[in-house]
């Protein structure tokens, strides 16, 4: 039984850590809602509500072309998440429940994909994609991130399927269920928290990816949101307000996705999808 003093101490520690984590976010948000501090700009140039300059977001959106960048990031993220999660479920199921020649070696190859940093492969990958004529295209941004996400996703789902109920699978087989039916109608529904966790992590990593789009594309219409924010920073090096507004715009989709799926995400983490 936890005493009142211990419970109070726990809450104090949690509040301190929460304040430490939220302080940078609050600072950026406060700067985004403050008066424009760029030289030569007037404080009344943006619309304000109760002293909050919400018009800074409209100005940053228009000047920084964030509509184009967010659309590109959304397309890339949805494609990467959809393809990589489906492939991760299939490969994780195969490596987690089946035994076949070369399965261990294949799994170690996936682990190598997790351990290999993007910085080590981005240059040869660029020349490979250029040879195929894929540079400066949507596929040059999306396909490398699919490969990176599948490596982790396979490890994640394999660990979950290895600890799934054998009795449940055997009961489904005795009822005449095929391998496909067992996977999609028996195992995936009960693995949904782990799948949601994988979706959120993959979306966050894809949305925040900077190096691959920077190297692979040059056209402005193919820039992702983080890359567009970096170019926007080059235009506004003397003022922080519009930069902060642009940063809030770029970070908002990830924050909304996490808030929407946080229960499933936390459940997947607490259930221990990775139990090995």
Higher pLDDT, 275 or 173: 173
pLDDT score at 46 = 53
pLDDT score at 274 = 45
39 pLDDT exceeds 70?
Answer: no
Higher pLDDT, 227 or 50: 227
Give the C-alpha separation, 216 to 144, whole Å. Answer: 10
Contact between 87 and 195 under an 8 Å Cβ cutoff? The reply is no
pLDDT score at 166 = 80
Contacts of 92 (CB under 8 A, 6+ apart): 153, 154, 155, 156, 157, 158, 159, 160, 161
Numbers of helices and strands, H then E, in the chain: 13, 0
Task: Name the strand (E) or helix (H) holding 239.
Answer: none
Residues forming a β-bridge with 52: 49
Contact between 207 and 227 under an 8 Å Cβ cutoff? The reply is no
pLDDT tens profile 41-92: 554 445 666 667 888 888 889 888 899 999 999 999 999 999 999 999 999 9
Give the C-alpha separation, 251 to 231, whole Å. Answer: 16
Contacts of 240 (CB under 8 A, 6+ apart): 31, 37
262 pLDDT exceeds 90?
Answer: no
For residue 128, count other CB atoms closer than 10 A to its CB: 13
pLDDT score at 270 = 65
pTM: 0.85
Task: Name the strand (E) or helix (H) holding 65.
Answer: none
pLDDT tens profile 168-223: 888 888 888 888 888 898 899 888 888 999 999 999 999 999 999 999 999 989 99
């Amino acid at each position: 039984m936890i005493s009142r003093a211990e419970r109070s101490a726990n809450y104090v520690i949690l509040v301190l850590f929460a304040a430490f984590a939220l302080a940078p976010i609050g600072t950026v948000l406060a700067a985004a809602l403050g008066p424009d501090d760029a030289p030569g700009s007037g404080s009344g140039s943006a619309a304000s509500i109760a002293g909050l300059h919400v018009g800074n977001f409209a100005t940053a959106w228009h000047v920084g072309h964030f509509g184009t960048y967010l659309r590109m990031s959304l397309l890339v993220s949805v494609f990467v998440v959809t393809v990589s999660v489906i492939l991760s479920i299939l490969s994780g199921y195969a490596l987690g429940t089946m035994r076949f020649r070369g399965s261990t070696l294949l799994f170690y190859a996936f682990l190598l994909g997790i351990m290999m940093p993007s910085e080590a492969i981005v240059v040869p990958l660029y020349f490979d994609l250029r040879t195929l004529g894929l540079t400066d295209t949507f596929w040059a941004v999306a396909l490398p991130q699919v490969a990176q996400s599948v490596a982790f996703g396979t490890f994640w789902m394999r660990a979950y399927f290895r600890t799934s109920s054998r009795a449940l699978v055997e009961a489904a087989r005795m009822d005449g269920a095929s391998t496909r039916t067992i996977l999609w109608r028996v195992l995936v529904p009960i693995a949904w928290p782990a799948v949601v966790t994988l979706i959120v992590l993959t979306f966050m990593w894809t949305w925040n990816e900077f190096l691959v789009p920077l190297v692979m594309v040059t056209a402005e219409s193919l820039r992702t949101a983080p890359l567009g924010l970096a170019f926007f920073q080059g235009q506004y090096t003397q003022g922080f307000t519009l930069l902060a507004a642009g940063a809030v715009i770029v970070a908002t989709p990830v924050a909304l996705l996490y808030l929407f799926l946080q229960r499933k995400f936390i459940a997947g983490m607490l259930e221990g999808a990775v139990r090995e």
